[in-house]
Structure 1
Amino acid sequence: MLGAPALAADTPDQLVSFGSIAERDVFLEVSINGANTSQLLRFRDAHGRLSVSGAALRSIGVDLSKLGVPDTREVNLDAVAGLRYAYDPAAQSVDIVLPDNLRVPYEVNTRGLPATPMATAGRGLVLNYDAYAQTDYDYRVALYSEQRYFDSNGVFSNSGTAYMGGSAERYVRYDTYWSRSDQETLQTLRLGDTITSSLNWSRSLRVAGIQWGRNFALRPDLVTFPVSSLSASSVVPSAVSLYINGVQQFSGNVPPGPFVVNQIPGITGAGQATLITRDALGRTVSTSVPLYVDTRMLAAGLSSWSVEAGFVRRQFSLRSFDYDNKPVLTASGRYGYSDDLTLEAHTEAAAGLYNAGAGAFVKLGQAGVVSGSLSGSAGSHGGAQVSLGYQYVRPEFSIDTQATRLIGDYGDLGSREDAPVPRQTERVTVALPLGRSQSVAVSYIGYRMPDVPMAKLGSATYTANLHSRVVLTLSAYKDFSQSNSEGVFLGLSLMLGDRTQVGASVGRQAGEDTYSVSAQSSVPYEGGWGWAVQNGRTGGMQVNQGQVQYLGRYGLVAGMVQDYGGRTQASAQATGSVVLMDGTVIPSRRINDSFALVSTDGTPDVAVLHENRKLGRTNGSGYLLVPDLNSYQTNRIAIDPEDLPVDVRLDSTKAVVVPQAGAGVLATFQVEKYAAASVILTTPDGAFLPVGAEVAHVESGNHSVVGYEGLTFVEDLAARNRLRVRGAGVSCVAEFDYTPSDSDPMPTLGPVVCEPLPRRQP
């Protein structure tokens, strides 16, 4: 490859005279390392030496940050260390030779998730309900309900339970709030009842007030934890394959030059990533690197935070409006200082109590992650809390430990509400896979509340997949702080088909024998019946129970009969929702989050599919409600055109909706009914018009052609119609009447005589 100075010396005489002009602008076809970029860029030619703008270099993949120049600056190519070029004025081309360190790597996103589109919300009202009735010594009924209004400005929700029968009839309000989210800033504002933010070394409590914070759920495509990247380079276009712990996770193609594989999937904890590059000749290059991924950490530069101010709520689910009259303030924050260090902070303030603390997650390379925190309190509760933890996960072994100690009379806002902080907590969990189908897990949990002896609980579990449908479980536990407080259990479960499962277990707990035999069949999501039966003995008493469920289009109903120690009771339950939207009222299954109301413009009995799964058919008004959508994610909804009448047409059979959380969206399929018919055209003597003659419908302006046996298809018919036919040796006009008929929406009319047009006089 020739550099610019050598090229100037070796260029033929005619080219030297061509380049002898002092300075001029030239437009050149650019190639990089011999590969054509298909770009034509403006250069400055000064006696065969080229310069170009930074913006032009950026467009062909040059990393301007390595050159230290902005887009607007003119760059002399001969002054760039490591860059060479071959300039051919006659061919008006230049081949720039770039080392990998000056090029922007081609990015390969192995997750393949598209950027989250902006979510939308219609306007409507949702009434969720859950009615429960049981017979015991008396008759009791409870009715839970949620009233939810939504529009583009946010969601307002109120929930509670009404109790009827028994000793008292009352209504208990749970939560009342309004919330609004902004996808661009990833922030959510909530006014009303809420739960304060917390970290793994602090506690939450219920307040009524305001909450404002970062909400990563608004961007499901965003990877918030540190994920390693792999860098490599290829001389020619190549195929790349990524393997994580020996399992292929991605395959794709890369252009010549450097490339980076981002957001490596399929791993939590320690593992190994192997990148294999293969060119067209079959030559392969393999690169392996160790990885460690902890989803609890934040990627470098990312931050999350939440601030709350309000009044502490007391006796939730027992009283509707029991709030403290003194305000409180809480705040939590996390920041990814680097991919190996995540910082945390939390603070609480109220009259007479102040609490603040800081913590961190530190990745120890491939040796796991250490976490720790230190917080202190002052005022009515003065003291400190120290916590330390360690986690290490790999396919062959994992350990998770956490310990917390209090110093002095440490307290938080919960301490003011008679919920003291545990004086001491300890947790250790060790898991060990035994081959592909067996595993052992051992755990120890210890905690001590103020003025109470420390509780120490140990457990061990062995699990074996004896078959793809058979699982054996052996578990044991012991409370080391109490005598005669241990147990051991042996269980076996068997899957029969996709929904039916049978199981049996035996054990001994607190000195008593226990057993259980059960069978159940889950309710299919598409709708249908489910059931469960159980016979067993626990706590020294015999237990027998049976349950039946039915999931339909409008909700779930269930009935259960239970006999516990000779005491029999029966219960019934019904859950669902009623939606008011787009001027219609429609019952549905319970709506926990987002949904779509499908409209077919009044066309009934049209099959609706969600992610290629058939959900049902539109009702008599042309509506079907699709529950259980994923908020802030792409949801694909379609209708089956085969169910449409022959005399209707529509623009599309598919729709993509992205609903906001707690809201509904309207998915309208424009179904247009039109008048059409097949018309048989003949000449006055009864012969069919020739094939290929052009037909023009005067009333609509539509065009068609004559087929075999004089048949042509005409759309958008009027009561009186006129056809002009030309070509294939004919020129005539046909007229006919059309009357719509529900029994024959697409009739065949004719024969219709096409009268010849008079010949033009010369």
Structure 2
Amino acid sequence: MNVARLKKPLLVLLLGCAVHVAFAAIASKTAQEESPRETLLLTTINAVVDDQVSLMLRSADGRLWIAAAELRRWRVQVPDAADTTVDGVDYYALSHWPRAKFSIDEATQQLDLTLPSDAFETAVFTKSAPNLNQATPPSLGAFLTYDALTERTVSIARQAGTVEVGTFGAWGVASVRYLVESGRDKPAALRLDSSWIRDFPDKMTSFRLGDGITRAPSGWGGATRYSGISYGTNFGTRPGFALLPDQLVSGAATAPSTVDVYVNNALVTRQLVPPGPYSIARVPLVAGANVLQVRVRDVLGREQVYERSLFSSAQLLRQGLDDYAIELGKVRNNFAVVSNDYGVGFLAANWRHGINDTLTAETHLELAEKRTAVAGVGANFTLGQLGLMNFAVAGSTKVGASGYSVAAGWSRPGARLSTAISTQWSSRDFWQLATSDLGPGSRFSIDSVVAMNLGQIGSVTVGYSRLIAPDPRTPTLGLVSLTWSTLVRRKVYVGLSARRLIGVIPSTDIGLIFSTAVDHQTSGSSFLQRNDDGTGGRTAAGFDYQKSLPLGTGWGYRLRANAANDVQVGSSYQNDIGTVALELARQSNGAAARIGVQGSVVLLGGQLFASRRANDAFALVRVPGFAGVRVYNGNQWVGTTDSRGNAIVPRLMAYQPNALSIDDRDLPLDVEVAHLQRTAVPVYRSGVIVDFDVRRIASAQLRIVDARGAVIEPGAHVRLAGVDRDFLVTDDGRLFLSGLMQRNTLRVDHENGVCRVNFDFSPTADPLPDLGTLVCEEVTP
């Protein structure tokens, strides 16, 4: 074999294998260097510092993959499919969000990442509903409310008044009201109404037995007085409950931001939102025009403001809400004329339902004696920015005659321009309870109004109404009106009005009025008016100046005069037990004098009290043993405690929190008050007892020194045996103590250790006697 000839090819083969192995090693090393490596980074995402270390993959060329767990923790929407999986962990490349920006500080291993707002999940917020205040169970009690007037003129002497007697308790409130008059052949007492009412706040319903007013359908029907029973919703038992459809506010924030939502310039909610989309539900609106403003302010102070106009109506209910009433009884005739005059018996029902936030449906039914009935259906709905619409149709039958009625309306409230029109057409034989004792109602009616806000120039309102009676021989009635008003320098109101009445006796009225408020109680006004009814024009002018009564004790007065030399002068005084008013008048037909008194007598807590008129809920405030203490309702002085420490506070808001407080400046120094303010949530026309825990305490001042005669340093803590609080030593060893007993022990913790003081105490007339200097004996450990 020729070895020399084989050596060269073998050498080439070995060289080729070596090169191949070398290239394979280089390729393997390069692949290892280019594959992403797991890394832990501190992250700031859209200006929010993440307090946890984030797991990621990082390639040599700077690309990033983020673990699914991190994305979820950051509220980032996770894509459907992972880009890679390492050790069972799914990672997603930042390329999924093309607008993403990031930078890495290699020294601190800090990642600063910014994602677009649509990369995040929507943060959902709900405006917190108002607290549903649990009403305070009423105490058993009774009341008598009176309003009496005596009048004397050159020709007559007359006395009149109303008296209402009622009782209340956990079972509800029952009352009867009378009108009493004299000056005729003999005194007469006329029953106005009587009823028993029981509210059920947890169900937002009420039951009534006795006199009441029927629930009228919206758009086409009327209400009438009756006597009987009724049961239905009463949203007044839960103030703050959202009846109207609410609004959803949504947007997007690129950084942590504060979102303030305003409705008609009133802040209704404030939310701290994270980066990304957000939505705030249950933003309440008010009936009429609403200007919704959203202010978004991020952590850097940048602010964006969004504003839009919305409409709502009291005839709309939010989705799923029901409003209903069922009534059974007899129509009340000649109210305030005859005590017991009842007409046709009936059964009535009304039901409204919020189908959605833009549509509310309604149905109404009335069944009466002698096969008389009426039924109708209606709807109220929004047309977006075009406004609000209502439509109703009803049919009736009475003594074999059928009738029908159609009603429709449209309104568009606005900050600058508001318009509304409503119309109803009824056949001659159309019947309903509200007109059962009045004969046939109108055949056609229309009411329209246009109101314009002209800014500093003022506002203008134009109205037109027309009424056509069923009898063609009855003239058509019409009214055209024009009013303009403005506020000059925010103090003087100026109003100009013109009115044209079309009918049996056409007439035209033109008036001009000026009024101003001197303060929150005092105001003045003057007017000039011209009337022309075709028989000769008449001009009138006059002025009025008055000061209203305060909520508590105080005076009021009124002066009125006109160009016809008619003058009225009146004054009134109000205190804790009632109101008295005196008025003198001089008119063309002679002089007159009137004296009126108003007030109540309340039985509550086993005691009788005289009070101002208690027309609504009221409270008995008790500060036992302390007379002359001023009582406040919502920071308004409304009464003063009597010699027993009691005060009646009328005019409370039923089912709402009423902040009642006492003035500690009217209390002696040697008392301890647990609470200066209490909250009362009374029920309708009932009384509650509100107690303030005020106790006399024995107090004194003294000076403490140690066994060497050195004063104890300021700030040392002192504990009085039997009292669960610490006292502090002040300058020169002075110490003020309260809650003293006949024998007392003090434990003093000072900078040099612990010492003890024992001393006796006897109360004196001085509310803060000085016990002199006492020595604190050291306590050995």
Structure-2-length-normalised TM-score: 0.79
Change (3 A) 1:267 1:415: closer
Q: 2:608 aligns with which of 577, 585, 597?
A: 585
CA distance in 1, matches of 2:714, 2:267: 58
Change (3 A) 1:299 1:722: closer
Matching of residues 238-253 of structure 1 within 5 Å: 238-242=257-261, 253=272
Cα distance, 1:335 vs. partner? 1.4
CA distance in 2, matches of 1:103, 1:698: 60
Question: Which residue is 1:481 aligned to?
Answer: 503
Cα distance, 1:232 vs. partner? 0.9
Question: Which residue is 2:199 aligned to?
Answer: 181
Change (3 A) 1:634 1:37: farther
> Secondary structure of the equivalent of 2:566?
strand
Matching of residues 731-750 of structure 1 within 5 Å: 736-741=759-764, 743-750=765-772
Of 218-227 and 275-284, more deviation after overlay is shown by 275-284
Question: Which residue is 2:138 aligned to?
Answer: 122
Question: Which residue is 2:540 aligned to?
Answer: 515
Q: 1:293 aligns with which of 312, 319, 322?
A: 312
Letter in 2 for 1:194: G
Cα distance, 1:434 vs. partner? 2.5
Indicate if the aligned counterparts of 1:602 and 1:620 stay in contact, CA closer than 8 A.
yes
Does residue 602 of structure 2 align to residue 576 of structure 1? no
Change (3 A) 1:432 1:132: same
Question: Which residue is 2:243 aligned to?
Answer: 224
> Secondary structure of the equivalent of 2:134?
coil
Question: Which residue is 1:156 aligned to?
Answer: 174
Question: Which residue is 2:330 aligned to?
Answer: 311
Aligned residues: 699
CA distance in 2, matches of 1:513, 1:546: 25
Letter in 2 for 1:579: V
Question: Which residue is 1:27 aligned to?
Answer: none
Cα distance, 1:257 vs. partner? 3.4
Question: Which residue is 2:404 aligned to?
Answer: 384
Does residue 697 of structure 2 align to residue 656 of structure 1? no
**Alignment gaps of 5+ in structure 1:** 1-8, 16-29, 40-47, 52-56, 63-76
CA distance in 1, matches of 2:217, 2:428: 21
CA distance in 2, matches of 1:87, 1:590: 81
Cα distance, 1:479 vs. partner? 2.2
Larger Cα Rg: Structure 1 or Structure 2?
2
Question: Which residue is 2:339 aligned to?
Answer: 320
**Alignment gaps of 5+ in structure 2:** 1-34, 53-65, 95-114
Of 415-424 and 627-636, more deviation after overlay is shown by 415-424
Cα distance, 1:459 vs. partner? 1.8
CA distance in 1, matches of 2:720, 2:700: 12
Does residue 190 of structure 2 align to residue 190 of structure 1? no
Indicate if the aligned counterparts of 1:121 and 1:150 stay in contact, CA closer than 8 A.
no
Change (3 A) 1:517 1:285: closer
Letter in 1 for 2:242: V
Q: 2:627 aligns with which of 604, 607, 615?
A: 604
Indicate if the aligned counterparts of 2:180 and 2:187 stay in contact, CA closer than 8 A.
yes
Letter in 1 for 2:373: Y
Of 346-355 and 265-274, more deviation after overlay is shown by 265-274
Question: Which residue is 2:416 aligned to?
Answer: 396
Letter in 2 for 1:592: N
Q: 1:454 aligns with which of 476, 480, 494?
A: 476
CA shift digits 1:311-358 (9 cap, x unpaired)? 22222212223334x631111111121222221111101112111001
Change (3 A) 1:424 1:563: farther
Cα distance, 1:612 vs. partner? 2.3
Change (3 A) 1:556 1:700: closer
CA distance in 2, matches of 1:699, 1:292: 63
CA distance in 1, matches of 2:290, 2:756: 79
Cα distance, 1:671 vs. partner? 0.8
> Secondary structure of the equivalent of 2:384?
coil
Identity of aligned residues (%): 29
CA distance in 1, matches of 2:217, 2:681: 30
CA distance in 2, matches of 1:471, 1:398: 21
Question: Which residue is 1:532 aligned to?
Answer: 558
Change (3 A) 1:471 1:416: closer
CA distance in 2, matches of 1:138, 1:83: 98
Does residue 253 of structure 2 align to residue 234 of structure 1? yes
Change (3 A) 1:683 1:505: same
Question: Which residue is 1:349 aligned to?
Answer: 367
Cα distance, 1:578 vs. partner? 2.1
CA distance in 2, matches of 1:693, 1:363: 70
Cα distance, 1:291 vs. partner? 2.7
Indicate if the aligned counterparts of 2:242 and 2:284 stay in contact, CA closer than 8 A.
no
Q: 1:367 aligns with which of 386, 394, 412?
A: 386
Of 579-588 and 368-377, more deviation after overlay is shown by 579-588
Question: Which residue is 1:21 aligned to?
Answer: none
Cα distance, 1:307 vs. partner? 0.9
Cα distance, 1:202 vs. partner? 0.9
CA shift digits 1:142-183 (9 cap, x unpaired)? 231222322233222221222233323121122221222222
Q: 2:451 aligns with which of 423, 431, 434?
A: 431
Change (3 A) 1:693 1:319: same
Change (3 A) 1:450 1:278: same
> Secondary structure of the equivalent of 1:217?
helix
Of 613-622 and 241-250, more deviation after overlay is shown by 241-250
Question: Which residue is 2:229 aligned to?
Answer: 210
Letter in 2 for 1:557: V
Q: 1:445 aligns with which of 453, 461, 465?
A: 465
Indicate if the aligned counterparts of 1:437 and 1:466 stay in contact, CA closer than 8 A.
no
Matching of residues 462-501 of structure 1 within 5 Å: 462-498=484-520, 499-501=522-524
Question: Which residue is 1:255 aligned to?
Answer: 274
Question: Which residue is 1:131 aligned to?
Answer: 148
> Secondary structure of the equivalent of 1:106?
strand
Cα distance, 1:423 vs. partner? 2.4
Question: Which residue is 2:578 aligned to?
Answer: 555
Indicate if the aligned counterparts of 1:227 and 1:299 stay in contact, CA closer than 8 A.
yes
Cα distance, 1:302 vs. partner? 1.8
CA shift digits 1:358-416 (9 cap, x unpaired)? 11113222112221211111132521111121212222222221111112411112443
Change (3 A) 1:296 1:100: farther
Indicate if the aligned counterparts of 2:252 and 2:275 stay in contact, CA closer than 8 A.
yes
Letter in 1 for 2:622: S
Does residue 191 of structure 2 align to residue 166 of structure 1? no
Indicate if the aligned counterparts of 1:692 and 1:728 stay in contact, CA closer than 8 A.
no
Cα distance, 1:649 vs. partner? 0.5
Structure-1-length-normalised TM-score: 0.81
RMSD: 4.1
Cα distance, 1:468 vs. partner? 2.0
Change (3 A) 1:497 1:88: farther
Indicate if the aligned counterparts of 1:494 and 1:503 stay in contact, CA closer than 8 A.
no
Letter in 2 for 1:425: S
CA distance in 1, matches of 2:608, 2:262: 52
CA shift digits 1:220-268 (9 cap, x unpaired)? 2223222432211223211234466899887653233332244556776
CA distance in 1, matches of 2:172, 2:245: 32
CA distance in 1, matches of 2:316, 2:84: 45
Of 214-223 and 347-356, more deviation after overlay is shown by 214-223
CA distance in 1, matches of 2:82, 2:337: 75
